[in-house]
Amino acid sequence: MDVEEFARRQLSDGVPKDQIVQHLTGHLLRIKALSPEYAGAFARAVLEEVLNSRDLKGDFFSFEHSGVRMGEFGVGSRGTGDFFTHRQIARIIGKTRASVGVDEMDDAGAVLLHPDHQEGNPGEVRHEVSGISNNAGRNKEPVTGQYIVCTVDGMHSRLSDFPFLAGFHVTRATLRDVYVMGAHPLMLFSDIHVADDGDVAKIFDYTAGITVVGEALDVPLITGSTLRIGGDMVLGSRMTGCVGAVGVADHLTARKETRAGDVILMTEGAGGGTIATAAIYSGFPEVVDATINLHFLSATEAIISSSVLPAIHSMTDVTNGGLRGDVYEMAETAGCRIIIEEESVRSLVQRDVARMLENLQIDYLGVSLDALLVTAPADAVKDIIGLVTGTGVVIREIGRVEKGPSGSILVKDGKEKDFTPGFRESAYTPVKKVVDSRLSDFGEMKGRVAFAAEAAIEKKNRVAEILKNRSHPRE
């Protein structure tokens, strides 16, 4: 519960101040073990702070409201609303000197280490790395990279009560994003926020989940931040956080490099945070065990350490709204037509995970499977399959890339079907199935969201002008 939000809403509804204090005091006493005197004093202080801050005006204190809530627009739910929002974020950021920027919708970005040098020329990071091993730090070989690759992933919000799983799966996710850009990961950083009533031990369990993955790959966790959600203002034990990674690369395998004529390969996927969440909250906890592996990382580590890497055009992981979402975004970014053979995909869902999804009637094509997608010319396919299979990971051909208007097509029972993502990813918990039953006017909401993004761009430009003027000392 956000006590500041509670007070603001009560004020907006015209509730008298003394009643707001009374209501808030009652909530505090129900949730926390406090004395009535302390709870009353806290409630009065909250109201005082809200009153002091509620009517401030100007660029630094207010923003253009869209009137569209995060949940109703599907932000974070890896569907069309989420993708639209991320494209607005890219508009606000604008064009930069990044070699792979946010406008390309990859999960990681890349910058040339020495932008004054031409790509391919010297100016590299050298680092000692080791492959996946139980003996971290041994058998190191130097690698170089002219690109710095960086990414960050948020932990799955429903794993708040399972901190080790949250840390484990978000770390795998962020490392996947570095690997699929063709980069060797060098370091990890983390952030964790726990609400006021959360047990301090959540921090430790979360960190253990991060470092068990990092140590397996000899990628150190080097820095981070630990805070409370909302400071004193949020009651409860909810935890949230993220893990980021930095790596180096010489050959980038971004989505935009997908080309007509490419063959699409996919590895077996057992899922990560999403599948673990579905299992826990739908009564299949035994399936969580299938998600505890490093198969994806083993496969990509082998690829980027091999001579086959330069032949690969693009790589991505099946996460954002499942195969539906990722293939759609790949087609949009690369400006091509992607054809997926459904029969080939189905067999690549790990057995226990597939059985659970079928039992729960969850569309496996619209949920994160944490599988690897590779696009490459046909003459490189045999070598890629041989390399990945040699790591013990199953990989098969599932489709192809064609010239034509951007689009994604699913071939099922010999017939082509639309393969665009839904408004949200597949509903994979009982609560999500209820939420999915709500219908909203998406087109109308898009207009309001875009208007708010434009207002943010205009504010950025106004403040940039202020900073420019203040950068010159007065004569």
Residue 134 in domain:
yes
Give the H or E element holding residue 34: none
Last residue of a domain, one of 405, 420, 435: 420
Instruction: Report yes or no on 428 lying in a domain.
Output: no
Give a yes or no: residue 61 inside a domain.
no
CA 246 – CA 93 distance, rounded (Å):
20
Neighbours of 74 (CB within 10 A): 25
Alpha-carbon span 165 to 169, nearest angstrom: 6
Q: How many domains does the chain have?
A: 3
In this structure, are 177 and 222 located in the same domain? yes
The answer to whether residue 425 is domain-embedded is no
Question: Both 200 and 238 in a single domain?
Answer: yes
Q: Which residues on adjacent β-strands are paired with residue 241?
A: 192
Asked whether residue 331 is assigned to any structural domain, the reply reads yes
Segment 71-98 shows an average pLDDT of 87
The answer to whether residues 115 and 262 belong to one domain is no
Q: How confident is the model at residue 252 (pLDDT cuts 50, 70, 90)?
A: very high
Task: Judge if 35 and 184 occupy the same domain.
Answer: no
Q: Where does a domain end: 399, 420, 441?
A: 420
> Do 232 and 158 share a structural domain?
yes
179 and 304 in a common domain? no
- 391: confidence class by pLDDT, cuts 50, 70, 90: very high
- 301 and 243 share one domain: no
Note whether 43 and 163 are same-domain residues: no
Q: Span 197-206, mean pLDDT? A: 96
Render pLDDT for 442-456 as a digit per residue (tens, 0 to 9): 889 999 999 999 999
Assign residue 262 the CATH number of its domain: 3.90.650.10
Under a CB-based contact definition with an 8 Å cutoff, are residues 371 and 301 in contact? no
Indicate whether 132 pLDDT > 60. no
Of the listed ranges 38-52, 138-152, 176-190, the least confidently predicted one is 138-152
Q: Where are the alpha helices (DSSP H) in 282-347?
A: 295-304, 322-334, 342-346
pLDDT confidence tier of residue 104, bands split at 50, 70 and 90: confident
Instruction: Decide if 423 contacts 334 (C-beta within 8 A).
Output: no
* 288 shares its domain with 410: yes
Quick one: 45 and 125 in the same domain? no
Are 38 and 178 contained in the same domain? no
Domain ranges, residue 27: 3-53
Residue 79 lies in a domain: no
Do both 134 and 152 map to the same domain? yes
Check: CB of residue 43 under 8 Å from CB of residue 233: no
Q: Give the separation between CA 314 and CA 262, rounded to whole angstroms.
A: 10
Residue 473 covered by a domain: no
293 found inside a domain: yes
Decide: 421 and 79 in contact? Cβ < 8 Å. yes
